[in-house]
């Protein structure tokens, strides 16, 4: 399993939940190929999440492999409120939708009132726009506003139950992307030393900057994953890329609001833009959905994962498959197997001319990638204090696996998401040791099962071995 992790380029993100929250299962998932653990803040309590995160760190230490932890914020998800008996919405019926707090003010609509937890819903609507319930399974259109409520006419009926989502694909939602709950969850996550924070329902760059400001106030530099999942975000994608560390193509709500038929093309476009900018991108939602109930995926699901790899995604994500499914371990193994097979198909690498390259470190990373391929090196060893050099390296999609070596645990964990990079934590070292490089090589040789005669390319900065700064040197060695 360790060798498979080293030789696989794309990474696996897995959501942890009731089916995968004990230390033994988490250990198995890490050994099976899970690189990033997603903690979903839409469910559970801070106490429960703290126990889960402690379990992740314990499992990681037990198996001797680091993983990153992604804290996924709930965001302003618009939902139906409590409906004890559900509501049967039929085609052609007229209903009203509005905040729960005003329901008692409209006794004339008793039995026809759809309560929502979102107080500003009515102010985001206008006549003739769609209102979708339960991931688009129930469709209605607004008719007219009546003070604090809106009349809607059902075009596709169904049974509506408590807490189901509401989507407004034709409207601009005014709810802040970073809610009060998200604010509390961010502070909780910082206290738990999470490695990434995912911001849900990003619509414009200002949404990302609000989270960035909060992190700056806390003097923390945690990478932000912007989840692109609605038409407004797609329209503003270039601006969002300017301020994001990672992008997630969140295909669930995207499919509901755009239409499933448009998702594949949008996915390809976003991945391509991220690849050109060197921004890691995660493809998510329903990738192996049938494995919630079944031990193997459908052929279509396997093809979906493979095509995401061929599109150029840095990582693929499992949601309910590992959080609440019957076969979490099998799902991670299957994801890894599909990635491995997909990566055997040669993919044309983007031309260097396509990138905006100006720095010495860019040139160093390109040079190291090309040299490694020309001499048949088994590994590229990149010494880094921030992870930036490894991130730049994977932008060029080297065919040689990269070992990102750092003495900082936070950097090692961050690199778990980077395409083609295997993080290596050098815990015990003497900065003034003139034989430090040899010490690192000996450690790496054992960990990566390198043999005498294998070639390796080393990139690092000038000065002390772990000095922060520009990577500006390339060295080739033969393992003795």
Annotated catalytic residue within 116, 283, 285, 313: 285
Contact by Cβ (8 Å): 88, 159: yes
CA distance 239 to 123: 26
- The structure tokens listed for 195 are 């490695």
Residue of 32, 22, 276, 6 whose CA lies nearest to 14: 32
229-261 CB burial, b ≥16 within 10 A, e <16: bbbbbbebbeebbebbbbbbbbbbbbbbbbeee
- The structure tokens listed for 305 are 């994962």
What 3-state DSSP class applies to 275?
Answer: helix
Radius of gyration in angstroms for the set of CA atoms belonging to the chain, rounded to a whole number: 24
Is 79 among the residues known to form the active site?
yes
- DSSP conformation letters of 143-198: EEEETTEEEEEEEE-EEE-TT-BEE-TTS---S-SS-HHHHHHHHHHHHTT-SEEE
Sign (positive or negative) of CA dihedral 238, 239, 242, 247: negative
Annotated catalytic residue within 5, 8, 11, 38: 38
Is 82 among the residues known to form the active site?
no
Sheet with strand 94-99: strands edge to edge: 113-116, 94-99, 149-156, 138-146, 130-133, 166-167
CA distance 168 to 286: 21
Is 227 among the residues known to form the active site?
yes
| Cα separation values, 318 from 40, 204, 308, 341, Å | 12, 26, 13, 18
End-to-end CA distance of the chain: 26
Annotated catalytic residue within 57, 130, 205, 227: 227
Is 395 among the residues known to form the active site?
no
Catalytic center residues: 38, 79, 227, 285
């Amino acid at each position: 399993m360790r060798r498979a992790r080293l030789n696989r380029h794309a990474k696996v993100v897995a959501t942890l939940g009731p089916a995968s929250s004990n230390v033994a299962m988490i250990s198995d998932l890490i050994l099976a190929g899970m690189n990033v653990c997603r903690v979903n803040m839409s469910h559970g309590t801070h106490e429960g999440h703290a126990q889960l995160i402690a379990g992740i760190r314990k499992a990681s230490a037990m198996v001797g492999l680091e993983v990153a932890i992604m804290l996924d914020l709930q965001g302003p998800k618009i939902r139906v409120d409590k409906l004890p008996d559900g509501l049967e919405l039929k085609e052609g019926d007229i209903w009203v939708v509005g905040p729960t707090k005003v329901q008692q003010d409209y006794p004339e609509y008793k039995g026809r009132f759809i309560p929502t937890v979102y107080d500003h819903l009515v102010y985001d609507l206008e006549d003739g726009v769609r209102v979708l319930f339960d991931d688009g399974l129930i469709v209605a259109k607004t008719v007219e506003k009546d003070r604090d409520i809106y009349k809607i006419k059902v075009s596709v009926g169904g049974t509506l139950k408590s807490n189901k989502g509401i989507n407004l694909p034709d409207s601009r939602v005014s709810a802040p992307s970073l809610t009060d709950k998200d604010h509390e969850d961010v502070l909780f996550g910082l206290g738990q030393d999470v490695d990434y924070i995912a911001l849900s329902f990003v619509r414009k760059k200002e949404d990302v900057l609000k989270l960035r400001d909060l992190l700056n106030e806390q003097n923390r530099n945690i990478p932000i994953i912007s989840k692109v999942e609605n038409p407004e975000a797609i329209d503003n994608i270039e601006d969002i890329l300017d301020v994001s560390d990672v992008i997630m193509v969140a295909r669930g709500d995207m499919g509901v609001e755009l239409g499933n038929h448009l998702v594949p093309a949008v996915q390809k476009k976003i991945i391509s833009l991220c690849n050109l900018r060197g921004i890691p991108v995660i493809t998510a939602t329903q990738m192996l959905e049938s494995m919630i109930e079944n031990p193997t995926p459908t052929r279509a699901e396997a093809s979906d994962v493979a095509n995401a790899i061929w599109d150029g995604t840095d990582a693929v994500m499992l949601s309910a498959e590992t959080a609440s499914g019957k076969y979490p371990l099998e799902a991670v193994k299957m994801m890894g197997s599909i990635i491995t097979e997909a990566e055997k198909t040669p993919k044309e690498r983007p031309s260097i001319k396509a990138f905006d390259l100006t720095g010495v470190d860019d040139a160093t990373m390109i040079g190291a990638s090309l040299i490694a391929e020309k001499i048949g090196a088994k590994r590229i060893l990149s010494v880094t204090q921030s992870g930036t050099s490894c991130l730049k390296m994977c932008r060029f999609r080297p065919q040689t696996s990269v070992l990102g070596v750092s003495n900082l645990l936070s950097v090692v964990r961050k690199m778990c998401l980077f395409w083609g990079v295997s993080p290596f934590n050098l815990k015990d070292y003497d900065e003034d040791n003139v034989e430090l490089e040899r010490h690192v090589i000996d450690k790496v040789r054992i960990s990566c099962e390198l043999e005498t005669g294998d070639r390796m390319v080393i990139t690092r900065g000038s000065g002390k071995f772990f000095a922060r700064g520009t990577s500006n040197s390339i060295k080739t060695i033969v393992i003795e």
